[in-house]
Amino acid sequence: MKVLGIDIGGTGIKGAVVDVKRGELVTERHRIPTPKPATPSAVAKTVGKLARHFDWDGPIGCTLPARIQKGVAKTAANIDPTWIDTPVRALFQEVTKCPVAVLNDADAAGVASMEFGAGRGRKDLVIMITVGTGIGSAMFYRGRLIRGSELGHLQLHGDSAEKYASDAVRKSLDLTWAEWAGRFQEYLSHVEFLFAPDLIILGGGISRPAKTARYWSLLSTQAELVPAILENEAGIIGAAVTARKKARKRK
């Protein structure tokens, strides 16, 4: 089955049609710049444009960098604050005229990794950490997603960890890779102390081979630590897979 996956990010909103059995994109990704300001109505219009670009009339899966509960956004750490309490699923269904599933962007990346990537077949405690503008997380036990973990907001040095160890912080403070790795190691150690995962998957832009070569040897964990395999396609694939599962439940 094919499903349209849409990944809503801070700079771009990307979509592609996904073969959800194989976990592969069957079209080229189409990207539209994220509107400024990225209000719910403006982003919804962009989601509608993507659906029309693909001439789509089937299930759609969408990510959003927010905690999602029953289709409603409950947080807005790195997006416009007007998203809080927005009925995202209903809004996107209205503009696309299609059934829509919405989930947190890190949760979507984690779903893709568990289905087709580094976490495939794992039944123990797995945590995926995505590092970019902020720090996102997805947690799985016995292959099932524990929604809304939001481990990027764990307290570290008196503030959210993502304000201390994200890739955006590395860039804004002009940290060397070694300096950033020291900060990120503190974060990883904190996560391990609290949850004792068996596997940690590191995703987001920081997991690309050209970047991991600069810092990977500086990290140390008790858990198995591996980079994500799907990279930038993970959000789109995970959103599409989730939409397919929701569609099955509705039948």
Note the pLDDT tens digit of each residue in 189-235.
999 999 999 999 999 989 999 999 999 999 999 999 999 988 789 99
Residue 246: the pLDDT is 84
Residue 250: the pLDDT is 65
At the second CATH level, the architecture of 2-107+233-250 is 2-Layer Sandwich (3.30)
Cα-to-chain-centroid distance, residue 22: 19
Beta strand pairing status for 2-8 and 12-19? antiparallel
Asked if 75 contacts 66 with a C-beta cutoff of 8 angstroms, the reply is yes
Residue 115: the pLDDT is 96
Residue 234: the pLDDT is 94
Asked if 240 contacts 61 with a C-beta cutoff of 8 angstroms, the reply is yes
* pLDDT over 70, % of the chain: 99
The average confidence (pLDDT) of the chain is: 95
Residue 41: the pLDDT is 96
Q: What is the pLDDT of residues 229-243, one digit of tens each?
A: 887 899 999 999 999
What are the structure tokens assigned to 171, written together?
A: 């860039």
Residue 158: the pLDDT is 96
Residue 117: the pLDDT is 94
Average pLDDT estimate for 127-135? 94
pTM exceeds 0.75 for this model: yes
Q: Spell out the domain ranges in the chain.
A: 2-107+233-250, 120-229
Contacts (Cβ under 8 Å, ≥6 apart) of 220: 185
Tokens 């604050």, residue located: 81
Q: Which amino acid is at 127?
A: I
Q: Taking the domain 120-229, which CATH number applies?
A: 3.30.420.40
C-alpha–C-alpha distance, residues 92 and 85, integer Å:
14
Q: What is the pLDDT of residues 70-128, one digit of tens each?
A: 999 999 877 899 999 999 999 999 999 999 999 999 999 999 999 999 999 999 999 99
pLDDT at 251 > cutoff 70? no
- Would you say the CATH fold of 120-229 matches that of 2-107+233-250? yes
* pLDDT category of residue 167 using cuts at 50, 70 and 90: very high
C-alpha–C-alpha distance, residues 141 and 149, integer Å:
12
